[in-house]
Chains A and B, each alone.
Chain A
Amino acid sequence: MEWEVVIGLETHTQLQTKTKIFSGASTAFGAEPNTQACEVSIALPGVLPVLNKEAVNCAIKFGLAVNAEIAPRSVFARKNYFYPDLPKGYQISQYELPVVGKGAVTIQVPAAGKNPAYEKVINITRAHLEEDAGKSVHGAVEGMSGIDLNRAGTPLLEIVTEPDMRSAAEAVAYAKKLHELVQWIGICDGNMQEGSFRCDVNVSVRPKGSDKLGTRREIKNLNSFKFMQQAIEFETRWQIETLEDGGTIQQATVLFNPDTGETRAMRSKEEANDYRYFPDPDLLPLEVTEADKARVKAEMPELPEAMKARFESEYGLTGYDAATLTASRDVADYFVAAVKAGADAKPAANWVMGAVSAKLNAEEKAITESPLSAAQLASLLKRIADNTISNNAAKQVFEAMWAGEGEADAIIEAKGLKQVSDTGAIEAIIDEVLAANAAMVEEFKAGKEKAFNALVGQAMKASKGKANPAQVNEMLKKKLGA
């Protein structure tokens, strides 16, 4: 039987606010345990939560970015359970009425093998605000568990998708897209190692063609795209094998072990808590007005979709190029900066996606760490455009600039890479070449087209590669009466 995997994601994004969602304590990462735990964070008797408006702005930004309905009225509820790192004995989270409703994002799934790249729309079910818990620290004190409440109360936006993805590749493409989007709009730093962006993946399988969903298992807390890919692939195989062996899937929460590459059930849903959700009487319903939305919208950067369309219309880029450049705000910013510094858009796009990306990948650097600034790239591209150097020579200049050897013009000068565009000089070279290669000239005149290319090669060689190839072509044609 042919199987189909069905995947939905729940992503916890830590919002980039200075203070916690319900108190004035700092959210900075890495402080000494419990130094960022105020009386609200540790849930002393009598303390009360006050909603951080900046967290709400972040949620609105996200809602606008995915074209979602933003609820005019949403409600914070209490999710009740006991755990040592949950100081109040309940988590404040939005339950029945979330701030962000249905929306969608478009993902680019890269080509794989003989399958071409494609786009797909992934529907967002909802996104809601909630507070993070603290952390249990085991082993810091012999025989005891410690509690660090620095993280308790950190604002999170939990983003939930419909079960719209049909492969690990689609799930990873969505996660990457979301990861980029939340950074693009400035609501999350995207740091997966520090837990700022954590994905829970719901996986189920069903016979291809079936419209009924299979029983799902939830893979918790994936903090890298590589692990996500591995975990989904393993989980999918495991579920298919289980079903093919006549077994059934039990709804469960599973953990991925990066060392073994396997997923393993941590608890079944039968043991699940009854969280006794009810509206938090300490907080008023959250109201978002049209004016709030307009104000937040005005603060937002141009969104990737809009920027992509603009790159196509304004710069004449292909849809693919525009999508590639706008997959990351840093890349897009770099490209725009190069164009602003005087580079032509198309070559700038080619160089950013080509040579620059290849170098960055090889050196595992982000574009923000590029040793070659956008302005420097532009200065190089201008020298190609004004025929100072050939494309081949430009590659040498690029390497030298990347290695920090100086600015484009200085390198061109020092390496003697300037292209010869002087008509007189080129004519002299061509005359020499024609005189020295009479046989070839004869062959060309006899109809051998190849001989023309050989003559161009000879002329370029005679110029030590510095002659402008277009000019050589043109002049040679004229001389041969072709």
Chain B
Amino acid sequence: MINSSLKTLGQMLAKKEVSSVELTQAFLNRIDTFNPEINAYISLDHQKTLAQAQAADAMIAAGNAGPLTGIPIAQKDIFCASGWKTTCGSKMLANFVAPYDADVISRFDAAGAVNLGKTNMDEFAMGSSNETSYFGGVKNPWDFTRVPGGSSGGSAAAVSARLCAAASGTDTGGSIRQPASLCGLTGLKPTYGVVSRYGMIAFASSLDQAGPMAKSAEDCALMMNVMAGFDERDSTSLNREKEDYTRDLNKPLQGLRVGLPKEFFAEGLDAGVDQVIQAAIAEYKNLGAEIVEISLPNTGLSIPVYYVLAPAEASSNLSRYDGVRYGHRTAEYTDLMDMYCKSRAEGFGAEVKRRILIGTYVLSAGYYDAYYLKAQQIRRLIAQDFEEAFKHCDVIMGPAAPSTAFKAGEKVDDPVAMYLQDIYTISTNLAGLPGMSIPAGFSAGSDGKALPVGLQIIGNYFDEARMLNVAHQYQQVTDWHARMPEGLA
């Protein structure tokens, strides 16, 4: 049951082969067993969760069930959920109980999904290993000595270890796709503006986008049907007609033009990862795809541009955490300035401080033009690269991350090495394009253990349904996505 697809679980619930309470309890039992080790969840509230499961059973009994009714979903702790502690992985919000629901949470609630708990994450979504969380790192279910990736590391580990049926994540520079790659699951970052950011704690507003993390493309499509949609409370939310993301899953791939950007297969890519990606591309050829070589010439600039723009926005977004109205306030202070300084010094971790400092610097008078404005100009060039590329192909493929999961502690003191984890994912955030990572195989780590490798699929704006189709067809002929880490039965 824990390995079942969302579709299968939905059918079982509908046929009353299992109740939502039983299903939820099964996952809670697994959480109680494995979470103390894996640390995928920050907050759990069995009572609240089971009450929701009961309500879902009532919905099913009343014949009001939708595809996700009664299914236990984990929510990244970046989403405000009424009555739930919502920490964003930070000491600053360690005791913050949200008094309102994020749009994403409201949509899952309305669909009758069950909130299993709030998943661990890098502090304020800043990190690629989940090691910046105030609540401790998360272990990669495939190898407990390794990181799950980040910032949605808790959600990734929870899906991978079957501590939930599916999870929500958010992606500012790769925070859905890189952990999906490192933990062997399917994750989708939609086009910017497709999922509302209301109630999703902001890191970098122009880049942040929520999306599903699940076992398969089909599961992601069902999750998207719930998560996506216009929200008038988010001015950047796009008012588009509601779409069914499952509609194209079964289309054949004959004639699909797959673009391979040469910059994604250059120096810095792990040889084992490269091998897996090449094999996946070969599989797509078998499925009828046509391979086109393309170029995204400004790929190399995406990391420097991102590390100007994202910290600039973050430095401003995180100003509200001042100890005045909620969140951490230092115990003793002499005056207002002292209260600000101590509260923020104590409440934020090192990576968050680093980015606030970078962001403050690049926005300062005299530096703004050289950094922020220049970065915005290059951001447009990066988007133009994709625009040009999509004239020659339907989807772009490449690795989601340059390597498989690395050891905990390995890159924690080398921010630049950590930042390079997102080299293949960041440019899509800068362009606002949708991107996915799907399991494509395994590569042996330094100590010989097989570790998952993710294939990235980048689509044109609003092409999520086609990307899900491309992923689903691959998952019909491979079983990488169905594999589960050993020792977690």
Contact between A80 and B319 (Cβ–Cβ < 8 Å)? yes
* Max count, chain B CB within 10 A of own CB: residue among A45, A46, A284: A45
For the complex, what is the distance from the CA of A276 to the CA of B88, rounded to whole Å?
A: 25
| Distance of B209 from chain A, by nearest CB (Å) | 13
Contact between A87 and B320 (Cβ–Cβ < 8 Å)? yes
* Residues from chain B with Cβ under 8 Å of A78 in the complex: 316
Closest to B208 in A: A281
Question: Is A282 interfacial (CB 8 A cutoff)?
Answer: yes
Per-residue 0/1 for B279-302: is the Cβ within 8 Å of any A Cβ (1 yes, 0 no)? 000000000000000000000000
The 9 closest A-B pairs by CB, nearest first: A89-B319, A276-B363, A281-B206, A281-B205, A46-B199, A45-B201, A43-B320, A46-B80, A46-B201
Contact between A46 and B313 (Cβ–Cβ < 8 Å)? no
For the complex, what is the distance from the CA of A277 to the CA of B372, rounded to whole Å?
A: 11
Of B50-58, B229-237, B385-393, B452-460, the stretch lying at the interface with chain A is B229-237
Contact between B202 and A46 (Cβ–Cβ < 8 Å)? yes
Contact between A42 and B325 (Cβ–Cβ < 8 Å)? yes
Closest to B232 in A: A50
Partner of A50, one of B93, B233, B364: B233
For the complex, what is the distance from the CA of A49 to the CA of B79, rounded to whole Å?
A: 17
Partner of A80, one of B232, B234, B325, B363: B363
Interface residues of A in 310-335 (CB under 8 A from B): none
**Known A39-B100, A78-B316, A282-B235; contact A84-B86, beta-carbon cutoff 8 A:** no
Closest to B234 in A: A48
* Residues from chain B with Cβ under 8 Å of A50 in the complex: 232-235
* Residues from chain A with Cβ under 8 Å of B316 in the complex: 78, 80, 89-90, 276, 278
Contact between B99 and A82 (Cβ–Cβ < 8 Å)? no
* Residues from chain B with Cβ under 8 Å of A89 in the complex: 316, 318-320, 322
Interface residues of A in 257-280 (CB under 8 A from B): 274, 276-278
Question: Is B340 interfacial (CB 8 A cutoff)?
Answer: yes
Interface residues of B in 353-370 (CB under 8 A from A): 360, 363-365, 368
| Distance of A44 from chain B, by nearest CB (Å) | 7
Closest to A149 in B: B325
**Known A281-B205, A284-B236; contact A45-B325, beta-carbon cutoff 8 A:** no
Contact between B372 and A278 (Cβ–Cβ < 8 Å)? yes
Contact between B313 and A281 (Cβ–Cβ < 8 Å)? yes
Contact between A44 and B100 (Cβ–Cβ < 8 Å)? yes
* Residues from chain A with Cβ under 8 Å of B99 in the complex: 39, 44
Closest to A276 in B: B363
Contact between B235 and A84 (Cβ–Cβ < 8 Å)? no
Per-residue 0/1 for A128-168: is the Cβ within 8 Å of any B Cβ (1 yes, 0 no)? 00000000000000000001000000000000000000000
Question: Is A51 interfacial (CB 8 A cutoff)?
Answer: yes
Closest to B207 in A: A281
Interface residues of A in 420-465 (CB under 8 A from B): none
Per-residue 0/1 for B185-199: is the Cβ within 8 Å of any A Cβ (1 yes, 0 no)? 000000000000111
Closest to B198 in A: A48
Contact between A90 and B325 (Cβ–Cβ < 8 Å)? no
For the complex, what is the distance from the CA of A87 to the CA of B327, rounded to whole Å?
A: 13
For the complex, what is the distance from the CA of A284 to the CA of B320, rounded to whole Å?
A: 21
* Residues from chain A with Cβ under 8 Å of B333 in the complex: none
Closest to B102 in A: A46
For the complex, what is the distance from the CA of A44 to the CA of B98, rounded to whole Å?
A: 8
A-B contact pairs, 15 of them (CB 8 A): A44-B326, A45-B201, A46-B102, A48-B233, A49-B235, A50-B234, A82-B340, A84-B324, A90-B316, A147-B324, A276-B368, A278-B363, A278-B372, A282-B235, A284-B236
For the complex, what is the distance from the CA of A444 to the CA of B197, rounded to whole Å?
A: 98
Partner of A84, one of B98, B200, B336, B368: B336
Partner of A282, one of B88, B236, B318, B321: B236
Contact between B233 and A45 (Cβ–Cβ < 8 Å)? no
* Residues from chain B with Cβ under 8 Å of A198 in the complex: none
Closest to A34 in B: B325
| Distance of B364 from chain A, by nearest CB (Å) | 6
Question: Is B467 interfacial (CB 8 A cutoff)?
Answer: no
| Distance of B349 from chain A, by nearest CB (Å) | 16
* Residues from chain B with Cβ under 8 Å of A39 in the complex: 99-100
**Known A45-B93, A84-B336; contact A284-B199, beta-carbon cutoff 8 A:** no
Contact between B312 and A278 (Cβ–Cβ < 8 Å)? yes
Partner of A45, one of B86, B205, B360: B86
Question: Is B96 interfacial (CB 8 A cutoff)?
Answer: yes
Per-residue 0/1 for B69-81: is the Cβ within 8 Å of any A Cβ (1 yes, 0 no)? 0000000000110
* Residues from chain A with Cβ under 8 Å of B197 in the complex: 46, 48
Interface of A is mostly: loop
* Max count, chain B CB within 10 A of own CB: residue among A50, A88, A278, A282: A278
Partner of B235, one of A42, A276, A278, A284: A284
Contact between B80 and A45 (Cβ–Cβ < 8 Å)? yes
For the complex, what is the distance from the CA of A50 to the CA of B231, rounded to whole Å?
A: 11
Contact between B199 and A87 (Cβ–Cβ < 8 Å)? no
For the complex, what is the distance from the CA of A47 to the CA of B198, rounded to whole Å?
A: 6
| Distance of B379 from chain A, by nearest CB (Å) | 12
Partner of A51, one of B86, B235, B360, B365: B235
For the complex, what is the distance from the CA of A43 to the CA of B340, rounded to whole Å?
A: 16
| Distance of A226 from chain B, by nearest CB (Å) | 34
For the complex, what is the distance from the CA of A80 to the CA of B235, rounded to whole Å?
A: 21
Partner of B364, one of A43, A274, A283: A274
* Residues from chain A with Cβ under 8 Å of B321 in the complex: 45
Contact between B80 and A48 (Cβ–Cβ < 8 Å)? no
For the complex, what is the distance from the CA of A274 to the CA of B205, rounded to whole Å?
A: 22
Per-residue 0/1 for A267-305: is the Cβ within 8 Å of any B Cβ (1 yes, 0 no)? 000000010111001111000000000000000000000
Closest to B341 in A: A82
**Known A278-B312, A281-B313; contact A147-B235, beta-carbon cutoff 8 A:** no
Contact between A282 and B205 (Cβ–Cβ < 8 Å)? yes
For the complex, what is the distance from the CA of A50 to the CA of B364, rounded to whole Å?
A: 27
Closest to A284 in B: B235
* Max count, chain B CB within 10 A of own CB: residue among A51, A90, A282: A282
For the complex, what is the distance from the CA of A89 to the CA of B340, rounded to whole Å?
A: 11
Closest to A273 in B: B365
Contact between A82 and B198 (Cβ–Cβ < 8 Å)? no
| Distance of B231 from chain A, by nearest CB (Å) | 9
For the complex, what is the distance from the CA of A234 to the CA of B246, rounded to whole Å?
A: 74
Interface residues of A in 37-85 (CB under 8 A from B): 39, 42-51, 78, 80, 82, 84
Contact between B235 and A283 (Cβ–Cβ < 8 Å)? yes
For the complex, what is the distance from the CA of A51 to the CA of B235, rounded to whole Å?
A: 8
| Distance of B172 from chain A, by nearest CB (Å) | 12
Closest to B92 in A: A45
Interface residues of B in 203-236 (CB under 8 A from A): 204-206, 232-236
For the complex, what is the distance from the CA of A88 to the CA of B318, rounded to whole Å?
A: 8
For the complex, what is the distance from the CA of A123 to the CA of B204, rounded to whole Å?
A: 40
Q: A84-B324, A89-B320, A90-B319 are in contact. List 14 more A-B contacts (CB 8 A).
A: A43-B320, A45-B80, A46-B102, A48-B198, A48-B235, A50-B232, A50-B235, A80-B316, A82-B340, A88-B319, A276-B363, A277-B368, A278-B312, A278-B363
Per-residue 0/1 for B29-71: is the Cβ within 8 Å of any A Cβ (1 yes, 0 no)? 0000000000000000000000000000000000000000000
* Residues from chain A with Cβ under 8 Å of B201 in the complex: 45-46
* Residues from chain B with Cβ under 8 Å of A45 in the complex: 80, 86, 88, 93, 96, 98, 201-202, 320-321
For the complex, what is the distance from the CA of A48 to the CA of B205, rounded to whole Å?
A: 10
* Residues from chain B with Cβ under 8 Å of A47 in the complex: 198-199
| Distance of B489 from chain A, by nearest CB (Å) | 37
Closest to A43 in B: B320
For the complex, what is the distance from the CA of A89 to the CA of B363, rounded to whole Å?
A: 15
For the complex, what is the distance from the CA of A82 to the CA of B322, rounded to whole Å?
A: 8
For the complex, what is the distance from the CA of A87 to the CA of B322, rounded to whole Å?
A: 9
* Max count, chain B CB within 10 A of own CB: residue among A44, A80, A88: A44
* Residues from chain A with Cβ under 8 Å of B232 in the complex: 50
* Residues from chain B with Cβ under 8 Å of A49 in the complex: 235
For the complex, what is the distance from the CA of A51 to the CA of B324, rounded to whole Å?
A: 26
Closest to A79 in B: B316
Interface residues of A in 82-115 (CB under 8 A from B): 82, 84, 87-90
For the complex, what is the distance from the CA of A437 to the CA of B234, rounded to whole Å?
A: 94
Partner of A46, one of B200, B319, B326: B200
